[in-house]
Amino acid sequence: MSAPTSPADLYRHSLRLLLDKDIPAWVALWAEDGLMEFPFAPDGWPQRLEGKEAVAAYMRHYPDHIDLHDFPDLRIHQTTDPQTIVVEMRGVGRLVESDAPFDMTYIAVVTVQEGHITSYRDYWNPLAVQEPGTDFTGSSR
């Protein structure tokens, strides 16, 4: 079955893939030249990932560190651009290393063209990565 093409449906599908820990399928939703940005990234964390391969490298070890269980409070807002949505949500689960609870609030601005994510600006809370076991990026903080 092919992935949905409306931005909201594609985004919901991407969340299901993250819950299933299917990172290769999640990365497949990206355009080759997709751009992922983290405007609030702390020192030592990437602020900009250019291209599908950079996104894949960033996410490769995510499930080994953060075990997501649900995305409650999901709200997807349409914008005046039919290809762009604004998403508000929480990601909840546990940190694999410490078994501590994980609860992150996100706001994302996502653009989809021709069934692929072309732009994803992720406004996540950088204070949450101060917890042990959250660094899945391989940075040397």
pLDDT tens figures, 76-129: 999 999 999 999 999 999 999 889 999 999 999 999 999 999 999 999 887 766
3-state SS, residue 118: strand
Q: Where do we find the tokens 């290769």? A: 24
Q: Is residue 134 part of a domain?
A: no
Residue indicated by tokens 């996540």: 124
Query: In CATH, what number is assigned to the domain containing residue 90?
Result: 3.10.450.50
- Indicate whether 1 belongs to any domain: no
In this structure, is the dihedral angle defined by the CA atoms of residues 57, 62, 109 and 77, taken in order, positive or negative? positive
Q: Average pLDDT of 125-134? A: 63
| Mean pLDDT, all residues of the chain | 89
pTM of the model: 0.86
Asked whether residue 42 is domain-assigned, the answer is yes
Alpha helix positions (H), 23-127: 23-27, 52-59, 62-65
When divided into structural domains, the chain yields a total of: 1
Over residues 1-26, the mean pLDDT reads: 90
Residue 45, domain extent: 7-129
Res 141 pLDDT > 50: no
Residue 130: band (very low, low, confident or very high) from pLDDT cuts 50, 70, 90: low
Lookup: tokens for 40: 């609030």
**Using CA atoms, how far apart are residues 18 and 62, in angstroms rounded to an integer?**
9
